[in-house]
Structure 1
Amino acid sequence: MSIEAIRELIAITQPDGNIELEWHMLTSVKDHQESISMLENRIYSKFTEVQNTGAWLLELAFSDVRTRLSSSMDFWRNFAGNLEVQLRKMENPESARTDSEISLTSSEFGHILDAVPLTQGSEYVTLSLLQKNWNELIRTFRHNLAIFNGTVEEYVQTFNPDIHLAGRVYFHLVENQKGNQPFAFMATYSTRLTESGKSRHVPLKFALQEFSGRRESLLELLSTVYTASAKSNLINGLIESGELFHPLSWTPDEAYTFLSEVDIYEQSGIICRIPNWWKTRASKLSLTVSLGDKQPPMVGLDAIISISPSLSIDGIPISKEEIQLLLQ
């Protein structure tokens, strides 16, 4: 087996904020597939040849998340992957070239910072570093787009042909204040852009009228939905029953299934509008270990090495009994 197959790429953040990519030798070659080495080699080439953080981050941004990477590289892949998320939210991805601001909120940056893995140099990953690297990623993305002969989606697909950005179908899930069920679902689609660059959102059922007699155009509009249905029994069932074209009242179980599959829909090119409370950060579990808190009558070894571990959720201590309940 070649040396490329028994090493993995890691990212080390330096005290000055620069990120160095280095090869780390593996003690085991199990599960280190050829596809991993190909991706790592492309990233490392960008790092050494271009010497631009945005260049290798862009390589990560659209990479297949199923390709396993080291924890440090996976963190930066998740970070850069927010570019794809932002592009999916745009009604017209072509506006990403210059017109639209491609940015993350302070809350989104905060969530990313909370997810920094405990690796070499992780203590130097700061909010300002994340913002700097995000700006560098966007600059590189737009520079490359300017010299690419094709659409934004075609450019993105040079990295990953399975990515679909230009879907016009939207899935909406809202809390239903007046109906018999607590949630309501509706699928809509955006009309083509007018001369003023605007589009309208209308219920998906009107697509049956707009594209009446134009089956190929209707199938093109629904292509992202059919892509999602291949992985989702929920959406497949809505298509087969025809319910997809009508507003629906949903039970909590149906809403939960939908929310659990949002990633599937968005990866298929469907834009999802979901309640803000689903996007809130999960509770943070922390472990605290106190050393030397024990105070016996005389100072000795017991006082120095006494250890008192404790667990807390969002800063609230939990008892041993509560821990056992959580583990069940």
Structure 2
Amino acid sequence: MRFLVTGTAGFIGFHLARRLLDDGHVVVGFDGMTPYYDVALKHERHAMLATREGFTAVEGMLEDMDALRRAADLAKADVIVHLAAQAGVRYSIENPRAYVDSNLIGSFNLLEIARETAPRHLLLASTSSVYGSNLVIPFAETDRADEPMTIYAASKKAMEAMAHAYAHLHAIPTTAFRFFTVYGPWGRPDMALFKFVDAILAGRPIDVYGEGRMQRDFTYVDDLIEAVVRLIDVVPGPDNRVTATGVVDTLSHVAPFRVVNLGGGQPIGLVDFVDTVEAAVGRTAVRNMLPMQPGDVPRTFAAADLLKALTGYVPSTPLADGVAAFVSWYRDWRGV
């Protein structure tokens, strides 16, 4: 098939594009190369993809409709996967406008592209942050997500709402998936695993927020990509409504639209996570225990029943294995 994938110079977009190329598909990647973190890492990811047959890169911002149209015209996509976004929970407190520009205006532009090109399936990356500090666990897709704690979470929930409206008005089959703390090789430098490994190897203390009492449902990137690839063929529609006992489908009653959690449902305490990182690195960290930061949630915990019902798959890579894979990549990448 032919794919248009936004965010291919980013962590998850890079991994998805590489998997799609491995599977023999044609991919047009779109990325703005924004300087939220080291652009050299983004260029390195794109350079690796550029060596592959079937990949073409288009650089441009989501806010630039003309650039998006150029990419869409080149792709002639059967499937669009929208992964590009302004990421980061804490940065959204410092620079909220970046999230409005990218995640709202940019996603609206992408929806317009989908309206114009009528892909077989549109898939959108959302986040577990939309659940806020939900007290009911695990987080199910049918839970209320009306109390966002950051503009990042609010922008992603708004994207979901806009996508539902477009699915209804223009009959665009759409799946929005909510990611749960994705980690792995080629990960972002602003994420905890990258920061911890970088600091431990350099002999610097690590900042452990929430006094280490927070929990996260860590999802290894290869598992996440497997789930996304499987969902590509699960095109929302009345013929695939889930009726399994104990599983509540999120397929809309008025649109070909569905929301799916992408997580394994195995939350890990932050202290246990640090222990796992130390074991993989082979060194003990100096831990700077700090209070929880504004916008942080105490835990994330995915209900994976709908994902399993739709795809027969649930992320399951043990944390120790995934962290070890990241550390191995990091050592090679840094030459440490």
TM tier, shorter chain?
A: under 0.3
Greater RCO structure (CA 8 Å; 6+ sep): 2
TM-score (norm 2): 0.26
Pick the structure with greater CA Rg: 1
